[in-house]
């Protein structure tokens, strides 16, 4: 498990927000609460830089353990959704757990789809932006770490860029469909292309790195 020498960061609703370098992480293998292999692989790229191994829900192997619960993402913020999932799966698996919630906020859509990104769908974004080729947007991600019955730490990061709706029809959908139509600021390639070919750190990678920096000495 993780042990901490002192409290640090800002607390909101029982969740510690921010970073602290006095924590000591003894666990080098953590559950990342997802069955999305694309998301897991992306997170593993960042975790390896910190000497941490991540495994997904499909990798939970405990004798007699029941099927993982279905945890809804009905909270009003990314952070609240991430914490909700991390707490549920930590209680289920009995091990320290990471969970995330991310979303795409398109300026021309007033911040939508936001926390509704997973349910909104790429095709609906394309339909709403059909008369615009490129729109300013921000990718958001919150990642929460929870010890069973213990402390909760959450970090939120953002990545600015544009949405190129012309890529919706041409690009592959895959497990992370929005990453194919999002181009980070100052880049010519999509986020999906950058992460796979250039080792670029996504919004999820940045949030996870910040979280590990707060937990590691």
Q: For the chain, 217 residues long, give each residue's pLDDT as a single digit of tens.
A: 333 333 334 444 344 444 333 345 566 889 999 998 889 988 998 999 999 999 999 888 665 667 788 898 889 999 999 999 999 999 999 999 999 999 999 999 999 999 999 888 888 888 888 778 789 999 999 999 999 988 899 999 999 999 988 876 554 566 678 888 899 999 999 998 898 776 788 999 999 999 999 887 6
Catalytic choice (101, 136, 164, 170): 101
> What confidence score (pLDDT) does residue 17 get?
44
- pTM higher than the cut 0.75: yes
Tell me if residue 101 is catalytic: yes
User: Class of 2-215 per CATH?
Assistant: alpha beta
Dist. CA 200–CA 203, nearest whole Å: 10
User: Domain locations in the chain?
Assistant: 2-215
Dist. CA 134–CA 184, nearest whole Å: 12
């Amino acid at each position: 498990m993780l042990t901490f020498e002192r409290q640090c960061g800002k607390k909101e609703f029982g969740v510690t927000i921010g970073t602290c370098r006095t924590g000591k992480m003894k666990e080098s293998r953590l559950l990342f609460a997802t069955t999305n292999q694309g998301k897991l692989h992306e997170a593993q790229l960042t975790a390896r830089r910190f000497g941490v191994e991540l495994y997904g829900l499909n990798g939970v192997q405990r004798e007699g353990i029941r099927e993982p619960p279905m945890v809804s993402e009905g909270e009003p913020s990314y952070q609240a959704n991430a914490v909700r999932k991390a707490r549920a799966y930590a209680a289920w698996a009995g091990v320290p757990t990471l969970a995330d919630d991310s979303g795409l906020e398109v300026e021309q859509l007033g911040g939508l789809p936001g926390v509704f990104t997973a349910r909104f769908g790429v095709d609906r974004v394309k339909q709403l932006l059909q008369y615009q080729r490129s729109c300013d947007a921000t990718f958001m991600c919150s990642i929460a770490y929870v010890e069973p019955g213990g402390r909760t730490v959450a970090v939120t990061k953002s990545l600015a860029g544009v949405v190129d709706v012309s890529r919706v029809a041409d690009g592959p959908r895959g497990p992370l469909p929005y990453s194919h139509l999002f181009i980070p600021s100052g880049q010519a390639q999509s986020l999906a292309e950058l992460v796979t070919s250039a080792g670029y750190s996504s919004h999820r990678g940045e949030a996870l790195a910040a979280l590990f920096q707060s937990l590691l000495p």
